[in-house]
Structure 1
Amino acid sequence: MNVLNWSDLWLGTLGAVISYTVILTIIFLTLVTSFRLLISRRKIGYFSIMISLLILIVQYFQLIQFQLTQTEGSIANFIALLLKVISFIFVNIGVYQLYNATKLKDTIVVILVIVMTAFVSLTYWYMPDWIQGSAEQIQLMQPLGMELYLFLLIFVSFLLLNPRIGQNGKYQLMLTFYFCSHMIHMTNLYLFNNQQAILRKFEQLIPIAFHVVLFLFIFERVIEIMQAIYNSSITDGLTKLYNRKYFYNRVNQHVAQKIAVTVIFSDIDNFKKLNDTKGHHMGDLVLKQVAQIVKEEAEHIGICGRYGGEEMVVLVTDTEVDASELAERIRARVEAETIVTVSMGYSYFRKNISAEELIKQADEAMYKAKTSGKNKVVAYG
């Protein structure tokens, strides 16, 4: 009866099959995630990544077959190497497309890479006449062109793609793992005739790290999308301030807890006239300028929102801040730094007052400022 020892499990056929099975599991999880993102986002980058993952699944099933049957032929080796190269190309195309719109020049580059890959793959079968050696040496040299070409692709990815990727830290880590795995493979094959079991094991284990990082890369993209969706649901697209619904909810939370907050309500003076005389583009620019001033002045002491067309509001949550002084700073900066002025009103939290009433009081104070000369700050009451 054969006893399975640690060496067989770690360095033998079973260990290799386990490593490849783990990789296949990670690839499958990444594939499912990419598919869900493709369905929901309709972005071509996920399709490219899915192609690379499907190719990788075929490649690792082939590697498992090699381990179980212990038979490798020239054609099978060529197919395995070609799948490895193509999957690497498509995973990088997909990662690039996640963060960049595909332009005509990008399409041309992809076509050139595919043509070059086809040309390089021919070197597997057609060796130059000047290369001499035994049949075994010639056979060992067959994959050299494609192996070196894969190194070239790794370096090109580092130099050209990495600066244009959103998660370039993870992307660099992926490429580093891939480079190390390929370097170990080349070292074992060409220096030790693939006889170093420990190097073969590292060659099997390092891709696990590569695929874990790739899965985390895709998963991080899911988080980025969810964060972007959430931010768009609570912020105004033009000014990037919180929208009316979110602002009201935050006021309601503080009032319900009986926190002594203050609401400042502002309105840009003569805004309709500005739109009519200088156009909506200038109106949008002014809105963004005023919003930036409000955001800078209220940073760390309150919450800013766009309540209506040209109406902006601040919930002052820091009880030590003088709301009248804050409102005056905002008014003065808008007058000095933009081509418009603002009328402002504010109201303090009082006992038994609701969030709606508190905002309404600040609005009434702002209206009083607007009807009594504009470009001033008025307190409610």
Structure 2
Amino acid sequence: MDSITLSDVLFGPTGTVWLYSMLTVIIAMTLLVSIRLLLSRRKIGYFSMIVALGIVLIQYGQLIAKAFSPQMSDVEAFAALLLKVLAFVMINIGIYQLYNPTRKRDIVTFMFFVLATATVSLTYWLAPNWLQSGDDNSRLLRPLGLELYLFVLLFLSFLLVNPRIGQNGKYQAILTVYFVTHTVHMANLYLFDANQPALRLLEQTLPFVLHSILFLFIFERVIELMQAIYMSSITDGLTRLYNRKYFQNRVHQAVQQRMPVSVIFSDIDNFKKLNDTKGHHMGDQVLKQVAQIVREETDEAGICGRYGGEEMVVLITDPDASAGALAEQIRSRVEAETIVTVSMGYSRLKKGVGPDELVKQADEAMYKAKTSGKNKVVGWE
């Protein structure tokens, strides 16, 4: 029995089958992640990715079969090339849909590229009519239209998809690796008649990099979605401050750990009158402005939340920060930068005081500020 040499592994059918088989494992993993996301998120982008990756699996299954039988009929060669182009189109459609809602104009654009692909694919069969020379030229020219069309799609992907998605670095890396892979393929096919072993090996190994980055791209999207879901569960949708439940949990944790914390409780003065006279839209704008000021002033000292309505609260965890000074800074900025004022109260954690009592003390101090003239800061004593 003849032994297998390193040359056979790298350049022979055995190496080709091994490389493509390993690659199908990566693609299958990406496909499974996409299926799981489709079932849980019901987003059409994952369906497009599933279709694209299914096409890619068929494509590499065909390439594995080709390793054992290098001679391919015109129909088989056409099917392989068309699968390659369709997979690229669908992957880019899927990536776009992961970050954007699919509108009617997007559907029209997608259908245009699918139809354009179908139209360009006709050049594979029309090419022989353009030739009056031998079969070799005919064989080389048949796939040229689709091969060049892929370069056009790469350029359009950089131009149209890249600015409209996240993870631009990974996406640009995907397109770059695909461009290099396709350029190597074209050079090997048209300069060396597909007989250059080093270029063929490079053409077979670069897809590992491509699909590894694609897997990381989708996995990173999963992390982004998980972070978005978590943040939406602990923040207020309008002000983007922490919601009441999360804020209370943080106060309870701080008190249980006996941290030297303070709480600031604020309320926008005459907010109901503002809503009644200038409308809820103006009220929402004021809430966002005040929330931004509170967030900026407390960014390094603690956390801030929306307690309810026009009430905002701050948990000061920095032992060196003065609750009174911080509250006054917020009050003065709100008065200077917005059309409203705020009344503020604060309390410091003392021995024997629980988390609910600490917040209640700050609330009562704020109430004193509001009933004694508004637009002032009062501390609990």
Could you say which TM-score interval applies, normalised by the shorter chain? over 0.9
User: 2:81 aligned with 1:81, yes or no?
Assistant: yes
In the TM superposition, 1:12-161 aligns within 5 A as 12-127=12-127, 129-161=129-161
User: 2:369 aligned with 1:373, yes or no?
Assistant: no
Match of 1:257 in 2: 257
User: 2:356 aligned with 1:356, yes or no?
Assistant: yes
Task: Provide the C-alpha distance between the structure 2 equivalents of 1:130 and 1:84, rounded to a whole number of angstroms.
Answer: 24
Shift of 1:71: 3.0
Task: Provide the C-alpha distance between the structure 2 equivalents of 1:198 and 1:304, rounded to a whole number of angstroms.
Answer: 60
Unaligned runs of 5+ in 2: none
Q: CA RMSD in A?
A: 1.2
User: 2:285 aligned with 1:285, yes or no?
Assistant: yes
Task: Provide the C-alpha distance between the structure 2 equivalents of 1:239 and 1:136, rounded to a whole number of angstroms.
Answer: 68
Shift of 1:129: 4.5
Match of 1:333 in 2: 333
Task: Provide the C-alpha distance between the structure 2 equivalents of 1:321 and 1:4, rounded to a whole number of angstroms.
Answer: 72
For 1:366, give the aligned amino acid: M
Match of 1:298 in 2: 298
Shift of 1:276: 2.0
Does the 8 Å CA contact 2:305/2:314 hold for their aligned counterparts? yes
Shift of 1:130: 4.8
Q: Residues 80 and 166 of structure 1: is their aligned pair in 2 closer, same or farther, counting only changes over 3 Å? A: same
For 2:272, give the aligned amino acid: K
Task: Provide the C-alpha distance between the structure 1 equivalents of 2:262 and 2:202, rounded to a whole number of angstroms.
Answer: 62
| Deviation larger for 102-111 or 42-51 | 102-111
Shift of 1:162: 1.1
Task: Provide the C-alpha distance between the structure 2 equivalents of 1:130 and 1:317, rounded to a whole number of angstroms.
Answer: 78
Task: Provide the C-alpha distance between the structure 2 equivalents of 1:109 and 1:274, rounded to a whole number of angstroms.
Answer: 46
> Equivalent residue of 1:28, what SS?
helix
Shift of 1:105: 2.5
Shift of 1:70: 3.0
TM-score (norm 1): 0.97
> Equivalent residue of 2:308, what SS?
coil
| Deviation larger for 2-11 or 272-281 | 272-281
> Equivalent residue of 1:265, what SS?
strand
Shift of 1:202: 0.8
Task: Provide the C-alpha distance between the structure 2 equivalents of 1:75 and 1:130, rounded to a whole number of angstroms.
Answer: 19
Match of 2:2 in 1: 2
Task: Provide the C-alpha distance between the structure 2 equivalents of 1:39 and 1:249, rounded to a whole number of angstroms.
Answer: 32
Shift of 1:106: 2.1
Q: How many residues in Structure 1 have an aligned counterpart in Structure 2?
A: 381
| Deviation larger for 249-258 or 20-29 | 249-258
Task: Provide the C-alpha distance between the structure 2 equivalents of 1:140 and 1:330, rounded to a whole number of angstroms.
Answer: 73
Shift of 1:123: 1.1
Does the 8 Å CA contact 2:49/2:94 hold for their aligned counterparts? yes
> Equivalent residue of 1:279, what SS?
helix
User: 2:182 aligned with 1:190, yes or no?
Assistant: no
Does the 8 Å CA contact 2:128/2:138 hold for their aligned counterparts? no
Task: Provide the C-alpha distance between the structure 1 equivalents of 2:215 and 2:58, rounded to a whole number of angstroms.
Answer: 18
Does the 8 Å CA contact 2:343/2:369 hold for their aligned counterparts? yes
> Equivalent residue of 1:236, what SS?
coil
Match of 1:310 in 2: 310
Task: Provide the C-alpha distance between the structure 2 equivalents of 1:8 and 1:21, rounded to a whole number of angstroms.
Answer: 16
> Equivalent residue of 2:303, what SS?
strand
| Deviation larger for 81-90 or 276-285 | 276-285
Does the 8 Å CA contact 2:267/2:311 hold for their aligned counterparts? yes
Q: What per-residue deviation string (whole Å, max 9, x for no partner) do you get for residues 281-307 of structure 1? A: 111111111111111111111110111
Shift of 1:207: 0.7
